[in-house]
Amino acid sequence: MQRTLIILGLILLAAGLLWPVIGKLGLGRLPGDIYVERSNYSFYFPLMTSLLLSVMLSVIIWLANR
């Protein structure tokens, strides 16, 4: 359990450090991401990005446990 949490933390750290590169690839601005902007309010929910990352991680985990 401890090893899993450490690995998960390292993955999150790497994703945070690589976010500028990931942003240039288009993740975070996919069709299906919800973005609402008003005069003094903005709301962003990356729905399609979250679904895509979830599928990718599920496939990676499935392949690793195979």
pTM for the structure as a whole: 0.62
Tally the domains of the chain.
1
- 58 pLDDT band, cuts 50/70/90, is very high
User: Which amino acid makes up residue 31?
Assistant: P
Compute the distance between CA of residue 6 and CA of residue 63 in angstroms, rounded to an integer: 20
> How confident is the model at residue 11, as a pLDDT?
86
pLDDT in tens, 16-55: 888 888 778 777 788 889 999 999 999 999 899 889 889 9
Q: 45, 34 in Cβ contact below 8 A?
A: yes
> How confident is the model at residue 65, as a pLDDT?
84
Q: 49, 28 in Cβ contact below 8 A?
A: yes
> How confident is the model at residue 18, as a pLDDT?
85
Compute the distance between CA of residue 61 and CA of residue 6 in angstroms, rounded to an integer: 16
Domain span holding position 10: 2-65
Angle formed at CA 25 by CA 8 and CA 28, multiple of 5 degrees: 65
